[in-house]
Amino acid sequence: MAPHTVLLVLFEGVQSLDVTGPLEVFTGASKAARNPDFYRVSTASLDGAPVRTSSGLLITPDTALTGAAAPHTLVVPGGDGTRSPGPGLIAWLRRTAPHARRVVSVCTGAFLLAEAGLLDGHRATTHWTMCDQLAGRFPAVDVEPEPIYVRDGHVATSAGVTSGIDLALALVEEDLGRDAALTVARHLVVFLRRPGNQSQFSSQLAAQTASRRPLRDVQQWIAENPGADLSVERLAERAGLSPRHFARAFQAEVGCTPGRYVDRVRLETARRLLEDSVDGIEGISRACGYGTPEAMRRAFVRTLGTAPAEYRRRFRPMNPAGPGTPVAGLKPPTGPKTATGPKPPAGSRAPTGPNSPTEQGQ
């Protein structure tokens, strides 16, 4: 196989993990493939001088960008330095990146690609806190705030720092196959790779914490009891409010409806169980309040674009603790099991769970 050159761009204020994460993946993949020259990885700053990262680490590059040829894979990391990039760096990207086979950004490195016009007409992502800013500054870019990475043609952009590792593993799997990528993932003690369309953040991060104690207690109870009756009526009763008042107060303080919040928590809990246990999908669907495996499958496909079985395959535990292993903080479902009923008509929207407030218009 022909060697792939990988060039990581350095600049003042670069995020060190955005550099070292992909670097470790690519160098480790060459070792895993028993072909040390398959990925020829190098770093370069504009003039070849050392750069100080956003955390204060001093990195000495291998070469200068001004004398570097277009690589097979160009990796542009993020960091504080992307806020006011030097015109020389942007000019180099604008001139050289179109000749690279693959152009990759990590985190806010997407801003440098966008500044150089390399994301115009492309789908892209960046760290979730910066997606609105990226879309506002560069309207020609189709910004997708949810995925951990987005591939559009020869351009690939990733979200927060660790998603750069996910994207690099995906590229290794494409180049060298699953076995090589899995070997690297095991060496780095990470999962093979998360699906690119997996959400960047958890339901607890995406939603606000309510200011009033009764609503905060309800949020905590939902997280610990996803298999329980989480209808608006039951949640309102727990908060000591009328259903109407509860629904309005919850949306005002948390930033989403009770139904949407329950959907997110159930999905996240199911993902965690698929990742961290070897429990069967049917048992997980009941524990998370879906009632049936089919209801959980529809929720996964609708939100993540992949079925639970495929999600588990990508997240297969390295050392499962054994069947029935509980996840910390998760209580077993209460109440009778929901019987599997007839499948809904084609095109209809299945309820997220047997007692989901989503089905009550909330």
Tell me the catalytic residues: 107
- Judge whether 106 and 77 are in contact, CB under 8 Å: yes
User: Using the 8-state DSSP alphabet, how is residue 158 labeled?
Assistant: E
Distance, in Å, from the CA atom of 167 to the CA atom of 277, rounded to the nearest integer, reads 25
Q: How many CB atoms lie within 10 A of CB 302?
A: 13
| Residue 321: C-alpha distances to residues 7, 24, 278, 279 (Å) | 40, 29, 8, 10
Residue 65: exposure state from Cβ atoms within 10 A (0-12, 13-18, ≥19): buried
Question: 103 - beta bridge partners?
Answer: 74, 155
- Judge whether 15 and 29 are in contact, CB under 8 Å: no
Distance, in Å, from the CA atom of 234 to the CA atom of 229, rounded to the nearest integer, reads 7
Cβ neighbors of 291 (< 8 A, separation 6 or more) are 285, 337, 338, 340, 353, 354
- Judge whether 18 and 57 are in contact, CB under 8 Å: no
Q: DSSP strand E in 125-284: where?
A: 142-143, 149-152, 155-158
Distance, in Å, from the CA atom of 43 to the CA atom of 244, rounded to the nearest integer, reads 58
Token pair of 243 as six digits: 């259903």
